[in-house]
Structure 1
Amino acid sequence: MGTTRTNRPAPWAGLLGGLALALALALGATPATAAVEALDAIVAVVNDDVIVQSEVEREIELVLPQMQRAGTAAPPRPQLEKQVLDRLILKRLQRQQARALGIEVDEATLNEALGDIAARNGLTIAELQATLETGGIDFADFRADTRDQILTSRLQNQEVVSKIRITDQEIDRFLERESSLLIERERVRLQHILIALPEQPDAEQVARAERKAKQLVVKLRGGADFAALAARDSDGRNALQGGDLGWFEIGATPTLVADLALTLNEGEISDPIRSSSGYHIIKLSQIEGAKPGNLQQTHVRHILIRTNELVSDADAKRRLSVLRQRILGGDDFALLARANSDDTGSALRGGDLGWVNPGDTVPAFEEVMDKLGPEQLSAPFQSPFGWHLVQVLERRTQDSAEGAMRIKAREALQQRKAEEAIEQWLRQLRDEAYIEIRLDDLEP
């Protein structure tokens, strides 16, 4: 039995042996089927929750078609199970954290997201479901995975991204150093392989990891498929996506690879890079270049209700729903904002935030604002600051190259800091958790 990070005791651990049988009976299984379900072994304990073998199998069923569509060869079964289990542990930890903070994804939000996914692919929801199931993906699993992604995004925005601050001085320094690069090489797509090291490696562990990383670089430069090697050998959390880190604004690349993003040619493989987490191999898979265009601005106003010991999420949402009905019935938004909004700065102006540039507000606010037309009023929604009611007054396009560059610089700095902060936060979340791996062949 393998055990990792038993930072705090789990006095209930002795009860877990019969949990699979209890769950099977609770779900209405017959005694015969319950005996079969009892064989659904617990493969990991994550705080006060468990991950069972069938969950690993379902996740593999979800991942394999994605890898196939991306042209990524699946790694051998033991490595695939290891990668999937690690992914499930991170999902479970974030789901637990979201539950503790009261963060939820309601059915309306989930259905809207699924509708957007279907529309981007030119499909209806029914056609999306049929397409997924034809490809071997159960729609219920896809739906649950989509909910998890929205939940994770909200959690990370609240706990990490919303706390990142970018100063004007940082933007000025960034533009002094890298403004021309924002134009010449605007976006890059990166792939990544990590050969991990323990927190305090000995000399032999370091030498072994370095040797493995150098061997992989030789294979890659000799024509080996990066995605296949990443899925098989990488310890990074994007391994099952072929090591694909996605697109980055040129200034938003993680600090570790910022120089490489500027200097590697398209398709080029880096030498191994040492960090505290291990050895990294980077491929610059694609480059895009563009110049900043016009600046789209939104004139917006809002009413904010903050939550605290006396005001719950339900109370805040209910109060805003009443205010929304009054506004729709003809009451003056500005008067209600002055009387009710907890944003004292804008409340004095009738909730008016003035002209807002992209990136000036937190993502949850900007996402809702961008979907509204002039004079449209939002439904109550939540951001890291509380609950909002938003109305867009008007929009305009400003021909401002300098303003657009400052916005791009702010976004790049925000994304760069966010990528590093989220990695650090996930590591802390895992370090502070009780995690026990029950099967040696799935030991991370």
Structure 2
Amino acid sequence: MKFIIRALMLGALLSFNSIAQEVVLDRVAVIVDQGVVLESEIDALVQEVKRNAAANDQQLPSDRALRTQAIERLITKSLQLQMAERMGIRISDPQLEQTIGNIASNQNATVEQLRAQLAAEGIAYDDYREDIREEIIMGEVRRANVRRRVYITPQEIETLVDLMEQQGAQQAEYRLGHILIGFPPEPTDEDIQAARERADKVIALLESGSDFAKIAIASSSGNEALEGGDMGWLNINAMPTLFAEAIQNKDKDALVGPIRSGAGFHILKVLDTRGIEKVTVEEVNSRHILVKPSIILSEDKAKAMLTRFKEELKNGEAEFADLAKEHSEDPGSALRGGELGWSDPGNYVPEFKEALSQLEPGEYSDPVRTVHGWHLIQLIDRRMDDATDKRKEDKAYQLIFNRKFSEETENWLREMRDAAYVEVIDS
């Protein structure tokens, strides 16, 4: 297989027109199962990390350490994309543009403004699009392969609900830094001792004032190493149990560890804390009329139809329920006069959620385009959910699922990496 891949790569490099000007050709840096990692990919990732570090005034380790971490990140990426290919996972251009539109919207910008920002940072929009496409694909691969590894018992949910009730409606959150000093899948006593000694040295460096992010980038085997070990904000009940027990009640800047797990020794730093958040969630009661464009009904005509309905409703010439029953193409709500019932607005697609956020009770939206078609929306009312027993159970389930999904993702990625054929080609 290695010979075939190399032969194919050589053939590709020799296939240029003989009269073309001499150019510097890219180089295969790593063979990963049926794929390769190119030198240009490694360089691009290293440069991206350096740009981010400069923007955040963050120190970095040596270029060699950066390159090692970049290679590991790209190996993992390649394996996931190869699996997506085998699974037939594809992301269409309309799906991709919808996601980019949502990203821009979350930044309170238009897609055009996002493109301008990327250009100012020297990032080609086409490259950005493909990066987003790959991130979506890898997310789908992880969900498909890891979800079935997560099992939650009723007892786990009940235990967490009891704990949440004891803690009341306030939950602490921690922003954690993480360094993993890993050892092999089946370590010897010598491997464990060597990892422990390295972890102790890292703790000593951190206690003497060394930069956590720099050491994480240089030394960590964790999935977030290139982000300086930053795991982001985590609810105490959503983080790995091992971490939750170790950092609970710790103050900002506290160092914790080394903590041993099956993957190695973990060192944690409490980068920040925040924490008093209510469990109560705003819910909305709304109704809508959905019209789907087709060969017969164009986009413009569908939008115009809903605009006309809105005017009829405002003028008292029609009833919303009657219009929904006659015209709405949402079978789940049309027979109920378009009513969707009480729901967390986060359950809706971004455009629908955004339209609801702009309405007062009784108001109608302008026609709104989503992936489902064109909607005319009326907000009936808002309320604050008081965290019923079902809500608590749902919240407990989601917290446990997120925690286990994160743990199993790390395990799955490590198992896939250990089973892969990887050859780093010396320059």
The TM-score range, normalised by the shorter chain, is 0.7 to 0.9
Identity value in percent: 28
TM score, norm. by length of structure 1: 0.73
Give, in angstroms, the shift of residue 255 of structure 1: 1.9
**1:45 aligned to 2:31?**
yes
Q: Which residue of 2 aligns with 1:379?
A: 371
Q: Distance in 2 between matches of 1:101 and 1:257?
A: 34
Larger RCO (CA under 8 A, 6+ residues apart):
1
Counterpart contact for 1:294–1:401, Cα < 8 Å: yes
Distance change in 2, residues 1:130/1:367 (3 Å): closer
List aligned pairs for 1:16-415, cutoff 5 A: 16-24=5-13, 32-33=21-22, 36-37=24-25, 40-118=26-104, 120-121=106-107, 125=111, 127-161=113-147, 170-181=156-167, 183-292=169-278, 294-297=280-283, 355-357=342-344, 370=353, 373=356, 378-380=370-372, 396-403=381-388, 405-415=392-402
Q: Distance in 2 between matches of 1:392 and 1:229?
A: 52
Aligned residues: 392
Q: Which residue of 2 aligns with 1:4?
A: none
Of 62-71 and 106-115, deviating more is: 106-115
Counterpart contact for 1:292–1:405, Cα < 8 Å: no
Q: Distance in 1 between matches of 2:286 and 2:209?
A: 53
Distance change in 2, residues 1:229/1:163 (3 Å): closer
Structure 2 counterpart SS, 1:409: helix
Q: Distance in 1 between matches of 2:112 and 2:134?
A: 21
Question: Counterpart of 1:379 in structure 2: which amino acid?
Answer: V
Structure 1 counterpart SS, 2:158: helix
Counterpart contact for 2:280–2:387, Cα < 8 Å: no
Q: Deviations over 1:69-96 (max 9, x none)?
A: 2333222122111111111111122222
Counterpart contact for 2:325–2:337, Cα < 8 Å: no
Larger radius of gyration: 2
Structure 2 counterpart SS, 1:237: coil
Counterpart contact for 2:239–2:403, Cα < 8 Å: yes
The gaps in structure 2 that reach 5 residues or longer are: 306-322, 357-363
Counterpart contact for 1:298–1:392, Cα < 8 Å: no
Q: Distance in 1 between matches of 2:296 and 2:79?
A: 36
TM score, norm. by length of structure 2: 0.75
Q: Distance in 2 between matches of 1:82 and 1:333?
A: 62
Give, in angstroms, the shift of residue 268 of structure 1: 0.5
Instruction: State the superposition RMSD in angstroms.
Output: 4.1
Q: Distance in 1 between matches of 2:18 and 2:233?
A: 46
